[in-house]
Homo-oligomer: A and B are copies of this chain.
Amino acid sequence: MQIDKLTLKDVATTNRQYLETIFALGDGHMGVRDSVPFTGNQQATLPVMLINGYYATNPITYGESAYGYAKNHQTIISLTSPRYLDFATEKTSSEIPGDWDMTVDDAVLDFDTGVLTEKFQIVTSDHHHFELVVKSMIALDNSHQLFLNYELTSLDYTGTLRFTRPIIHDVTATTADADDPRVAQRQSGLTNQFIPADRQQQIEWQTLVASTHQQITQRDWLTSFPTGFEVYGDHAGFHGSGTIEVQTTLSWSFTRQISEINQALPDKIMGWTNDIVVRNRQILTDFWQQSQVQISDKKLQTGIQYNLFQLFQSAGRNGLTNIAAKGITGPGYEGHYFWDTEMYMLPFFIYTQPQIAKQLLHYRFSILPQARERARSLGVTRGALYAWRTINGEEASAYFPAGTAQYHINADIAHTVKLYFDVTNDQNFLREQGAAVVLETARFWLQFGSWQQRDGRSQFCLYKVTGPDEYTALVDNNYYTNRMVKENMAFAAWLLEKHYIDGDADEQVQFTKASTNMYLPYDQEQQVTAQDDHSPKMPVWPFATTAATQYPLLLHYHPLMIYRHRVNKQADTLLAEMLFPEDQSLEQLRRDYAYYEPITTHDSSLSRSIFSILASRLDDRDKAFSYYMDTSLMDLVDLQGNAKDGLHEANLGGSWLGLTYGFAGMYVADGKLHITNHLPTQIAHLSYRLRFRSRVLEVQLYQDKTQVKLVTGLPLAVVVAGKEYDVLQGVRSE
């Protein structure tokens, strides 16, 4: 079954800020939150429009500073709503708080066209009734145009109605919860310059960020309005008035176009026409063709389609931007890019939209100079270290124990370059961009690490690092990090061997030696893979005496309390085991899972998807299903309680991983695709499409059979449940 829309019935609450996130629209460049048209950003505490990579900097103030600390905050700019429209009857105005009481009747987000249709019921303070239907759509053809159509129906009002579309210049400061590092942000003033409009009913202006010299140009066009209204535009918007009669429907349409950063606005601008809808439908049909997922559970089907649709809306496509932790759906985490992109979101794009994946990886290549610089600040004289959180490539993490110390981002990026290459076989990208990223990150490790005696032989060790689990910091030999670095250096050696890039004398040998002898901690006593050198010995968090209201722990306990206990925010060692299925036996994985699951709080949205995937691998299908439900529906049920700050983009990607890496047991090894059917009993059927080395494949899972179908391309060998099959034009089952 395919689901073609999300409606108000599918979501957790009608809390407005929550809805603003859930029904946000975007094209990877502009993200428009679903604010109530009347409020503009006057009443909202969250911004209503974000531009990917459009940010301000201001100096970080430290309570106590030290050498090498990140110097500047980078904060995505919160722009005012392009949805803003005011109405006024003779005695009331939607601009006056309380005058126009609004309830949302319905909202429908169409996955096939990107059109959002909403219906609002309005009661004025003098007891008149109106109905407002708003249709919104962002063109997905990279023209960065938002189309808006307002239909206002008077149910019992007769008289003069005025409308105003004000363009607000100022940026409203947003509320920040200072102690919650996930939302804290700062605002910076902007300057606006209005460009004299030489066209009727068009307004144009440029907004400049002083600190970054970034500029965008916006154009707002009143494309249609009802007869009987006299309309005039000036630099602050459009105004008009006319007479409305009972049950008359009046219609206004606007187009808002936004330039790329520091680029001119293309001249082409359109009003809402059917052509645009057709074009969007075409783009989304292509998207769904390659990303199609069908699952025999309506809720999950809605969840996965919503998630993939939102991922598609969030991904930067210009090679200079990435996907922020909240995409462009909210200002949480200041619009920063983290490792989330590579480890949680990129696999979906690599397997289904490689052209977007390539652009996202190009972003990493483009910030290599900043990463080299950062390695120098850290005292490492060779190679590059990617910033833990950044927009412009410079480190913006103001708390290094859970920021810069998460060095693993280096290996995460290299891993994803490898995955992209393994899946696409894109030789050009690897040669021209990917190899440099892998080599420079590997060089960092070689100097960062050191040789130490472990278990009677010299092994390569990494000290004072923080792994993915942020409830544990500054440890020695974090298993995840070491395992990822092992791959990073092995891949660098391979690239040198195969002459994708030139290295220095002896480098290939050194990479191979360090990779081969990477130390991977293991706790002999408990027979589990150890998270790091210390954690097996630490006391377990006092779960029994921790009230449910005390989660997430980070908001209720001092980091020192958290760090000195064995407690995980998210999958750490298990994430490494998920990524490298051939590293350990199922028995070992089972022990590790049983060891880590009880100490994991899932306070991070990056956790449950991994637990679902590994439960699948262990054939604990009920558990896999249960974790997957939480993953797939995380924001639609507001599981973390903070969807209002923006979608959990990593989890959107994680929900795709749960299906493909989990239920279908998919991974690549030695250039071959592996599939194993772990479909939970709750799901009768699951199929999904993917691209693999110039083919389009469709994987079909049933309770009793597994099929891999070649949709387009040449035949190839696929390993199903450990057995190799040739996939021809037809169907193979296990």
**A interface residues (Cβ-Cβ under 8 A, vs B):** 60-70, 73, 178-179, 181, 184, 377-380, 397-401, 403-405, 450, 452, 454, 461, 463-464, 473-474, 476, 533-534, 537-539, 554-561, 563-565
> Cβ of A563: which chain B residues have Cβ within 8 Å of it?
463-464, 474
A379 to B62, CA, bound (A): 24
Whether the pair B476, A537 counts as a contact (CB closer than 8 A) is yes
Chain B's closest residue to A451 (CB) is: B539
Whether the pair A65, B473 counts as a contact (CB closer than 8 A) is no
Whether the pair B379, A557 counts as a contact (CB closer than 8 A) is yes
5 closest cross-chain pairs (CB), A and B: A63-B398, A68-B558, A379-B561, A450-B539, A464-B564
A554 to B178, CA, bound (A): 29
Whether the pair B400, A463 counts as a contact (CB closer than 8 A) is no
Please give the distance in Å from A260's CB to the nearest CB on chain B: 30
Please give the distance in Å from A567's CB to the nearest CB on chain B: 12
A403 to B559, CA, bound (A): 13
Please give the distance in Å from A667's CB to the nearest CB on chain B: 33
Whether the pair A63, B66 counts as a contact (CB closer than 8 A) is no
Whether the pair B68, A399 counts as a contact (CB closer than 8 A) is no
Whether the pair B537, A181 counts as a contact (CB closer than 8 A) is no
A398 to B69, CA, bound (A): 14
> Cβ of A64: which chain B residues have Cβ within 8 Å of it?
181, 184, 397-399, 403
Please give the distance in Å from A61's CB to the nearest CB on chain B: 4
Whether the pair A560, B378 counts as a contact (CB closer than 8 A) is yes
> Cβ of A184: which chain B residues have Cβ within 8 Å of it?
64-65
Chain B's closest residue to A525 (CB) is: B453
Whether the pair A560, B405 counts as a contact (CB closer than 8 A) is yes
Whether the pair B379, A67 counts as a contact (CB closer than 8 A) is no
A359 to B360, CA, bound (A): 65
Whether the pair A554, B66 counts as a contact (CB closer than 8 A) is yes
Whether the pair A539, B452 counts as a contact (CB closer than 8 A) is yes
A558 to B67, CA, bound (A): 5
Pick from B179, B400, B450: contact of A65, CB under 8 Å? B179
Pick from B179, B378, B399: contact of A67, CB under 8 Å? B179
Whether the pair A560, B63 counts as a contact (CB closer than 8 A) is no
How many copies of the chain does the oligomer comprise? 2
A454 to B539, CA, bound (A): 13
Extra inter-chain contacts (20) besides given A60-B63, A67-B557, A463-B538, CB under 8 Å: A61-B62, A61-B63, A62-B399, A65-B178, A65-B179, A66-B558, A66-B559, A68-B557, A68-B559, A379-B558, A400-B559, A404-B558, A450-B538, A452-B539, A454-B537, A461-B537, A463-B539, A474-B563, A476-B537, A533-B533
Pick from B404, B452, B474, B557: contact of A473, CB under 8 Å? B474
Pick from B66, B404, B538: contact of A179, CB under 8 Å? B66
Please give the distance in Å from A547's CB to the nearest CB on chain B: 13
A67 to B556, CA, bound (A): 6
A637 to B49, CA, bound (A): 62
A555 to B61, CA, bound (A): 18
Whether the pair A400, B560 counts as a contact (CB closer than 8 A) is yes
> Cβ of A67: which chain B residues have Cβ within 8 Å of it?
179, 554-559
Chain B's closest residue to A73 (CB) is: B63
Chain B's closest residue to A380 (CB) is: B561
A-B contact pairs, 13 of them (CB 8 A): A61-B61, A63-B69, A63-B70, A64-B184, A66-B181, A67-B557, A67-B558, A68-B560, A450-B539, A452-B537, A463-B565, A476-B538, A533-B537
> Cβ of A397: which chain B residues have Cβ within 8 Å of it?
64
A70 to B559, CA, bound (A): 12
A400 to B400, CA, bound (A): 12
A450 to B561, CA, bound (A): 13
A72 to B399, CA, bound (A): 18
> Cβ of A534: which chain B residues have Cβ within 8 Å of it?
463, 476, 533-534
Chain B's closest residue to A557 (CB) is: B379
Whether the pair A399, B66 counts as a contact (CB closer than 8 A) is yes
> Cβ of A70: which chain B residues have Cβ within 8 Å of it?
63
> Cβ of A539: which chain B residues have Cβ within 8 Å of it?
450, 452, 463
A559 to B538, CA, bound (A): 24
A397 to B452, CA, bound (A): 35
> Cβ of A404: which chain B residues have Cβ within 8 Å of it?
558, 560
> Cβ of A66: which chain B residues have Cβ within 8 Å of it?
179, 181, 399, 554, 558-559
Please give the distance in Å from A408's CB to the nearest CB on chain B: 14
> Cβ of A558: which chain B residues have Cβ within 8 Å of it?
66-69, 377-379, 400, 404
> Cβ of A537: which chain B residues have Cβ within 8 Å of it?
452, 454, 461, 476, 533
Please give the distance in Å from A255's CB to the nearest CB on chain B: 40
Chain B's closest residue to A538 (CB) is: B463
Task: Contacts A63-B60, A398-B64, A559-B400 given; indicate if A474 touches B474 (C-beta within 8 A).
Answer: yes
Of A69, A379, A380, A555, the most chain B CB neighbours within 10 A belong to A379
A584 to B270, CA, bound (A): 85
Of A63, A67, A378, A554, the most chain B CB neighbours within 10 A belong to A63
Whether the pair A62, B557 counts as a contact (CB closer than 8 A) is no
A563 to B379, CA, bound (A): 12
> Cβ of A556: which chain B residues have Cβ within 8 Å of it?
67
Please give the distance in Å from A561's CB to the nearest CB on chain B: 3
A68 to B179, CA, bound (A): 9
> Cβ of A398: which chain B residues have Cβ within 8 Å of it?
62-64
Chain B's closest residue to A179 (CB) is: B65
Chain B's closest residue to A378 (CB) is: B558
> Cβ of A452: which chain B residues have Cβ within 8 Å of it?
537, 539
A452 to B454, CA, bound (A): 22
A533 to B565, CA, bound (A): 16
A554 to B558, CA, bound (A): 25
Please give the distance in Å from A444's CB to the nearest CB on chain B: 13
> Cβ of A181: which chain B residues have Cβ within 8 Å of it?
64-66
Of A73, A401, A452, the most chain B CB neighbours within 10 A belong to A401
A452 to B540, CA, bound (A): 11
Please give the distance in Å from A692's CB to the nearest CB on chain B: 40
